[in-house]
A and B are shown apart, each in its own frame.
Chain A
């Protein structure tokens, strides 16, 4: 059982790390700010989400698990909102806040 959990953790964390890589490549290679933003949100939400998922399988106790989910939710919330604010300001003519 523990072996299966470990394997799942390794799978989830590796996939998460891959999304971080993809996000970075997108940030470096995409031509304009809005598509770079698109790449970034994938890395943020999925990458961290998968890492958290992998670690949840190893978490001891429900409070530790709750904190892990809390970290992810906070990042998600902040990421989404900031992304939208940036998208608005990056749009031509949309400099007002």
Chain B
């Protein structure tokens, strides 16, 4: 097994783990954390694809690298917006829960 494959399998497990946390955790902040965990796994998959595409004197295919950089920044923006929404919910209701019956 090559190094790239090893990290590829790692990314597969990370996506599954993150998805599990996203479904199972009741607290929204934990869901946001889990979502970022999935993000890490998906970006890693891009990294593996890039690593396999090395050539022309580059250590990896620069196009997926650029995509991941863009993705990381956008993921941060989404996380910040989600956190702000959550804190506002908490301020408004005194609770941070997604249940609708309270």
A and B touch in the complex (CB under 8 A): no
Q: Which residues of B contact A (CB under 8 A)?
A: none
Q: Which residues of A contact B (CB under 8 A)?
A: none
